[in-house]
Every structure is written in C-alpha cells, then in structure tokens.
Amino acid sequence: MSGFPVVRPRRLRENPVLREMVRETELSLKDLIYPLFVIAGKGIKNPVASMPGVYQVSVDNLVREAEEVVKLGIPAVLLFGIPEPGEKDEVGSPAYAPDGIVQKAVRALKKEFPHLLVITDVCLCEYTSHGHCGVVDNGIILNDPTLELLARTALSHVEAGADMVAPSDMMDGRVAAIRGKLDAHGFTYIPILSYAAKYASSFYGPFREAAGSAPQFGDRRSYQMDPANSREALREVAQDLEEGADIIMVKPALAYLDVIRLVKENFNCPVAAYNVSGEYAMIKAAAEKGWLAERPVVLEVLTAIKRAGADLIITYFAKDVARWL
Ligand code: PBG
C-alpha cells in the first residue's frame, strides 16, 4: 500500500493527443441534416424572429441557401413548406398539389444539386386552415381519413424528386399508408424516415412561427406523445418498423436523451434525433445575452445527442457546426 491511487482516470486526460485518441464520441458533419423553410413567392428572405440565422426563403433564395449547404459539406436538407395564406383549406390540399411549394422546391434543388440528399417533411399542419396535422371533424382530429392525404403528399414529393420522406403527423398507420402508396407507384427504394417518437412538446414554439403552423384551436396532445412516457416510445418505434420505416426519429432531442438511448438499445435501425427549434432558440437567446458561450455549448449538446445513440441529427446549427469543425 503506497498510499497513492493505482487507478487514475486523469492519466488519460493529461495529454491532449491521447485525450483525443480515447474519445468515445465524434461529431461528424456527415451525420447532420439542415432544415429549410421554403415559402411561396420570389426574392423572399424573411428572418424568423425567435430563430436568429433562420429564414423563410422563396425557391430562388432556397437554391442559394442550398449552394452554401453543399459548399459547407452538409449532406442533407429537410424541407418544410409555407403555402400562400389564402391557399390553406380544411383538408390541406396545398400539401399534395403537384405544383405545391415543397414540390417546386424539390424540383429546383434536385436540378441544381443532384447529390444533395433532399428529405421532405410530410405533414398537413402547414397547409390546413385549422393548423392541425390531420382532418378535423367537430374538434376531433380524424386518423384514418388523414392517411390517404399523407400518402398522397409523400407520393407527390417523391414524384418531384425527393430522396426520402419524413412523416411527422403522428397518425396511426401512416408509415404503412405511405409505404403502400410509394410501392404501388414503383418507388420501392425511397426510404421513410419516420418521426416515430414525437412528443407533444413545448419546444416547437419557434418552429410554428417559422412554418405558420400553430393549431388554431386546442393542442396536439391527442396525436403527439405524452412527454412523461418512454415505454410508449418503444411501441411507436416497433410499430413504425413493422410498417416499413427505415430510419426512426426521436423528437425533441435534448430533453429526451433517455428515449434516444432506449430506442438505440432496443432496435437495430439507424436513429435520428431532432434538435428542435426551441432547443436552438434557448442557446441563441442565452448567447445573445452573453450568458452562455454559443460554440462550445452547441458542440457539447450535439455531442451529447450523439453519445445518447443518435446516428443522425437534424439541427438548425448544421451550418455553424460545419464552419467550426
Ligand atoms: C410538423 C412539424 C413540427 C416540427 C417538425 N414538423 C411542429 C409540430 O409538430 O407542431 C417541429 C420542429 C421544430 O420545432 O424545430 N408537424
């Protein structure tokens, strides 16, 4: 007994070269997906007040944004559409219009940047007058009548050239409905990234400002998951995989690291995590006030999401990370 500790974890922390060599988790640009908001019109670049650095852009400016994304080495984008306000209706028709805003955007992007992976968010809330993700009757969000509309939306995105579709509505059976529709039209190899464990979170506030998709009455708790549940997330994921989902998403990310880990440990599929708008806004606001140092905090948060088990991260910080790494 020398009186000295034999086991000293600090031995591996002293030398920065060795510290890096034994690092368990590495954040990579190749894992990041950058969300973009595309709006009808021309020459538009509207800043989103609660998300500094994020804009609603018209298709012409979207192409410029994408050019920057490609130059920075970010492999993929996730598209959200904002139709003209007058276009919205009870059944979200602009979501599945062949010449809808996302469909136009996809065509423009794939023409200019064939190697950029273009993923589209499939949902109705940006396109319905009531702002819910499904068809509404008497204040109830109807599940089954919504499925065909989601499937049609996904098909129209893929027909426009989308590389992958990402249903975010949380209706039961939507993955099967979309898979069936795509397969019937010969798109058997277009993967589905399912928002499988999507919680009824208060962290989506800034997004709803960006996408103009706040529900006009009530909330989304009858279809999105209760933040108190994690076993239920496993059921959702199991069901979506059975229906043909290829990649599973947990959303939000930061307050749900345990769910990311659970999904990772229970299923052999790639896991994506959505570092959502409210998570972005919190850091931006604190950094603006000088209360947090933005760069190390962002890198710490994204590394933690990866450490928890995410293979892919959807984040509004993607361009910043590309510049930092
Ligand atoms: C559409 C959708 C939402 C988000 C992604 N897809 C909002 C919602 O469900 O209300 C949120 C993304 C974010 O907050 O960054 N259903």
Each residue of 72-102: pLDDT tens digit?
Answer: 999 999 999 999 989 999 999 999 999 999 9
Is residue 7 one of the residues assigned to a domain?
no
Is 28 annotated as a binding-site member? no
Q: Which of 56, 133, 213 to mutate to test the pocket of ligand 1 (most atoms within 8 A of CB)?
A: 213
Active site residues: 198, 251
CA distances from 238 to 14, 124, 233, 241, 266 (A): 44, 24, 9, 5, 9
In a domain, 95, yes or no: yes
Query: Which residues sit opposite 141 in a β-bridge?
Result: 136
The domain tally of the chain equals 1
Q: Is 316 annotated as a binding residue?
A: yes
Spatial CB neighbours of 306, under 8 Å, sequence gap ≥ 6: 25, 26, 27, 31, 313
What is the whole-number distance in angstroms between the Cα of residue 99 and the centre of ligand 1? Answer: 23
Query: CA nearest 193: which of 235, 162, 230, 232?
Result: 162
Ligand 1, CB within 6 Å, residue ranges: 121, 123, 125, 133, 168, 204, 207-208, 213, 220, 276-277
315 within domain boundaries:
yes
203 located within any domain: yes
Q: Tell me the residue range of the domain where 194 lies.
A: 26-324
Distance (angstroms) between ligand 1 centre and the Cα of 204 equals 6
Half-sphere exposure of 250 (CA within 13 A, CB side): 32
- pLDDT score recorded for residue 1: 57
- Residue 6 inside a domain? The answer is no
Separation of 210 CA from ligand 1 center, angstroms?
10
Closest ligand 1 atom to residue 205 Cα is 14
What pLDDT does residue 141 have? 96
CA-nearest residue, atom 6 of ligand 1: 168
The CA 12 to ligand 1 mean position distance, Å, reads: 42
Tell me, yes or no, whether 4 lies in a domain. no
Reduced to 3 states (helix: H, G, I; strand: E, B; else coil), residue 270 is: coil
87 is an annotated ligand-binding site residue = no
Rounded-to-integer distance, Cα 119 and Cα 192, Å: 9
Nearest atom of ligand 1 to the alpha carbon of 224: 9
Q: Are 179 and 23 in contact (CB under 8 A)?
A: no
Domain assignment present for 202: yes
pLDDT for res 85 = 85
CA angle 68, 72, 77 (to 5 degrees): 70
- CB atoms inside a 10 Å sphere around CB 17: 6
CATH number of the domain to which 204 belongs: 3.20.20.70
Confirm or deny that 125 is annotated as ligand binding.
Answer: yes
208 labelled ligand-binding: yes
* Residue 9 located in a structural domain: no
In this prediction, residue 67 carries a pLDDT of: 98
Record the pTM.
0.97
Mutate-to-test residue for ligand 1 from 202, 204, 225, 315, highest number of ligand atoms within 8 A of CB: 204
Q: 164 C-alpha to center of ligand 1: Å?
A: 17
Which parts of the chain have pLDDT scores under 70? 1
**Which ligand 1 atom is nearest residue 80's CA?**
6
Residue nearest to atom 14 of ligand 1 (CA): 204
Q: Tell me the sheet residues that pair with 167.
A: 122
* Residue of 123, 170, 209 to test ligand 1 pocket, by largest number of atoms within 8 Å of CB: 123
